Amino acid sequence: MNSFNQNIALDTAEIILDIKRDDLLHPHISGNKFRKLKYNLEQAKQLNYNTLLTFGGAFSNHIAAVAAAGKEYGFQTIGVIRGDELYSQIANNPTLSFAFSYGMQFEFVTREIYQKKESTEFISFLHQKWGDFYLIPEGGTNALAIQGTQEILTSEDAHYDYVCCAVGTGGTISGLIRSAFSHQKILGFPALKGDFLTNEICKFAPAGNWELISGYEFDGYAKVTATLIEFMNDFYQKTQVPLDPIYTAKMVFGVMDLISKGYFEKGAQILMIHTGGLQGIHGMNQVLLQKKLPLITTHV
């Protein structure tokens, strides 16, 4: 299955707005997760690893994608999960129950330990317990992941003036920056607050024609508001494009808001990247139900 560029009708004809449906690359390894894992899986095979180990939270798109990739490509998978209380909640957690059904084994750790997940001592402990494994970082971002995300843009996308994406760990925008055409500007919309992202991106991508647009985090990472939910539901009704609440919805909201404020010049052609993550909607709706907030009605 391939991604494709879908036009988003605007009230004004002065701007062309399209969305690249990378969420359709694979039913369970969608969007940027497919891109980030592509060359990591090839490397793991070449080095004769049969086990993948990675990290994530309760509703992690990355955890779900690694579990699905492991099953499809013949790897055992281990997920180091942030929050030891989740051990007893697997059956009631859509993401973890999915990953478990695809064969992933779990190592649940406290949030304090999780903060030290990259330490030599903790990695040594994991090897002692689980044996040999191919290590994939949280979110999947490494040099091989950037190689994959560089393939998002193709020659068919050369006519766009702006390319917009959500930013989590910086892997997707780094690939876009490296593969962008010389006239294009890359706009990243962080899903979490903080100034550290610029340094993370600069590890993989050169300084140049890109910018991080803050102010659309909606109270922070993995948090949503009634305003964002209303936007997602309305956007789906108008376009039949489902958005995820953690990443792409915030980016699309930001782009639409910038258009309304005159950020883009007349005649601008804008491409938004749909990075997937729709599996997280089920878990988010559980949270919203508990908080008595409106539910995401997107059909996925």
Residue 199, both tokens: 């340094």
| pLDDT for res 220 | 83
Which pLDDT tens digit goes with each residue over 237-254?
Answer: 999 999 999 999 999 999
Work out the mean pLDDT of the chain and round it to a whole number: 94
pLDDT digits 0-9 by tens, 187-212: 999 998 877 888 889 989 988 899 99
Flag the least confident range among 10-19, 67-76, 148-157, 248-257: 10-19
For residue 141, the model assigns a pLDDT of 94
Confidence label for 297 from pLDDT (cuts 50, 70 and 90): very high
Return the HEC string of the chain: CCCCEEECCCCCCCCEEEEEEHHHCCCCCCHHHHHHHHHHHHHHHHCCCCEEEEEECCCCHHHHHHHHHHHHHCCEEEEEEECHHHHHHHHHCHHHHHHHHCCCEEEEECHHHHCCCCCHHHHHHHHHHHCCCEECCHHHCCHHHHHHHCCCCCHHHCCCCEEEEEECCCHHHHHHHHHCCCCCEEEEEECCCCCCHHHHHHCCCCCCCEEECCCCCCCCCCCCCHHHHHHHHHHHHHHCCCCCCCCHHHHHHHHHHHHHCCCCCCCCEEEEEECCCCCHHHHHHHHHHHCCCCCCCCCC
**What token pair was written down for 246?**
């953690």
pLDDT at 30 over 90: no
| pTM for this predicted structure | 0.94
How far is 298 from 32, CA to CA, in rounded Å? Answer: 20
Quickly state the pLDDT bin for 1 (edges 50, 70, 90): low
Q: Is the pLDDT of residue 300 over 60?
A: no
- pLDDT score, position 193: 84
